[in-house]
Structures are given as structure tokens and as C-alpha cells.
Amino acid sequence: MGQKETIILISVLILLLLTLTIIILFVVFVKRKNQLLADQEEIKEQFKKELTKSKIEIREATLRNISWELHDNIGQLMTLAKINAQLVQQDPSKIEEVISVIGIALTELRSLSKSIDPESIKKLSLTEAIGLELERYNRLDYINASLNITGNILPIEDNDEVILFRILQEFFINTIKHSKASTLDVKLNYEENNIIICAKDDGIGYSQDIFTPGQGLSNMKNRAKLINTEFRIDSNIGKGTELFIKYQIKKRTNETTSSHS
């Protein structure tokens, strides 16, 4: 075989090798791309499931709180009105007390009707939803709750709003049920691109070294991860528990923004 034939053979082999390499790289690329698309679809499905679950849990918690309020608050008001009404014949001045108590009960019922109405719930912003939740705890005398908002309130994605509120609601419920706290302070700080949320109670706290996370804490962590949100809970025995959330505000499209105008 001459030198010319050898060069041609080597050139053909190199060309075949390059072609084979390109084919292998293309196959790997397609597989990686398909896997990425499958992973993205799985994440979307997981997000949809978690979003639906969060909405259901929010509605269940709201209805449970309403049932407590009907029994503990409005029920007591109506009982008091009934007692005063029975005393009106003996003391006509009691009629003013009856009217006053019924007026308070009607105000409470109007507030409850807003919580029951699905359309009203959908229209609430994150700050409004948190405010109503804390107001309810104060009305029912569960805890002394406060809300402090700093910075310019910015709109966030509706679905992320639901997830954030559910995380906070889960923390509030744990505080009321388990912490033996007397106060709950919630702070929302709106920065240019972030929302910093801190919620702190003055309860008994717990040692993080020996504490085994329950389902509630796991749910909060998983939901925060779904919306790429920094999440942390700090607690010490006798020093209460604090929730920290840092949520990056996503830029809204014109279409999304206009739907909320």
C-alpha cells in the first residue's frame, strides 16, 4: 500500500471516528434532554399536587377556625343576648345591652362570611390573609398575635402566595397547639427583590439536637423547596421558636400583572 492510499485510509478512519463520536454525543444529548424534560414535568406535577393539597388544607383550617369561632365567640354573644332579653321585662334598660350584643354578633358574622366565601379568599393578598388569620387568633383569645409590615408591598405569584401562606399557617397552628406561647410576632419585610418573613413565639421551645421533625415541619420544608425559598426554623428550650423565610420575588409578565390590576 502506497503512501497516498495510507493517507486516504487514515482520513476515512478519522472521519468515521468523528462521525461515530458525533452520533454518540447526539444520543447522549437527546437522552439528557428527555430526562430533563421528564424531571421538569415531574416537578410541575409535584407542584400541582402540593398546591392543590395546600389549598385544601387552608380551606379545612379556615372552616375549623370558623366552627370554633361560631361556638366560642358568637355562641357566647348570642347566649348573653338571650339572657339580657329575658331580663328586659324586669329592667327595660337591658334592651340597650341586647341591641349592643346583637350588633357585635352581626359584625362577627360578617367577618366570618368573608372567610367562608371562596371568591373573597382568592382575592386576598398574602399580607391580608396573614392579617385575618392573626385577627382570628386574637378574637378567640388563643394567643396575643401581632403583624408588622415594612417596605413597599409587592405582588407575588398567586400559586407561590398559597404555598407561603400554608407554610405560615402550619407554623401558627403548631405554635397554638404545642408551644404554650402567649405571644406570636410576625414580621414581613419587603425588599427590592425579596420578602423576608419572620414569625416568633415565646413558647417553651425545644432542643434541636434531640428533636425529631414531625410531618408538619417536613411539609413546610418540602413546600419551601418547591418554590425555591430559603427556609429555617430555630428553637431553644425556654426561648421559643422562630421561623425564617426568604422568598425571591419573581418578575411578573404584563398579562399576569394586568389580571391583578
**pLDDT (tens digit, 0 to 9) for every residue of the chain, 261 residues total?**
567 777 777 887 888 888 888 888 888 888 888 888 776 777 777 777 777 777 777 766 666 666 666 666 666 667 766 676 776 767 777 677 777 767 767 776 666 665 555 445 557 788 988 998 898 888 778 899 999 999 998 888 888 888 899 899 889 988 988 889 999 999 999 998 899 999 999 999 887 766 666 677 888 888 888 888 999 999 988 889 999 999 998 765 444 433 343
- H/E stretch holding 130 reads helix 126-139
pTM of structure: 0.62
Angle of the 126-139 helix axis to the 94-116 helix axis, nearest 10: 140
Classify each residue of 78-104 as buried b or exposed e, where b means 16 or more C-beta atoms within 10 Å of its C-beta. eebbeebeeeeeeeeebeebbeebbee
Domain boundaries 142-261, corresponding CATH code? 3.30.565.10
The structural domains of the chain, with segments of one domain joined by +, span 142-261
Among candidate residues 202, 137, 190, the one with its CA nearest the CA of residue 164? 190
